[in-house]
Structure 1
Amino acid sequence: MSDENRLIDIEIKLADQENLVDTLNRTIYEQGRRIDQLEAMVAKLAEHMRTLRDAGQGPVNERPPHY
C-alpha cells in the first residue's frame, strides 16, 4: 500500500470519527435538554401535590363506594 493510499485511509477514518463525535454531541445535547424538561415537569408536579395537600385535597384513605 502506498503512502498516498494510507494517507487517504487515515483521512477517511478521521472524517468518520469527526462525524461520529458530532452525532454523539448532538445526542448528548438533546438528552440534556430532555432531562431539563423532565426535571421541570417533576418540580411542577411536586408543587401541585404540595398545593393539593395544603388545601386538604390530597388523597383520602376511604373505601370506594362500591365496597
Structure 2
Amino acid sequence: MENKVKIARIQAGLTQQQLAVKIGVTRQTISLIEKGKYNPTLKLCLDICYAVHQTLDEIFWVDKESGNE
C-alpha cells in the first residue's frame, strides 16, 4: 500500500520508535507500513494521522492510475 507515513512522521519530528510508542505498536510495524508491506487497519491509520497532525487524505490517499479501473 502506497502512503506518505514516513514523510508525515519526519515532518512531525518523530522517529519510528516515537511514533510507535504514541500509537501503541512496534517500531517494526511502523517500518512495514512505511515500506508499504503492511496494510494498517482504519483505526491504526487514524491513530497515525492524529499522531502526526495530518488527515487520512494527506497520508493515505492514492490516486487511481489511468486505465487501472
Scaled to the shorter chain, the TM-score interval is under 0.3
Which fold has the larger relative contact order, with Cα–Cα distance below 8 Å and residues 6 or more apart in sequence?
2
The structure whose Rg is larger is 1
TM-score, normalization by structure 1:
0.21
TM-score, normalization by structure 2:
0.21
Normalized per residue, the structure richer in helix is 1
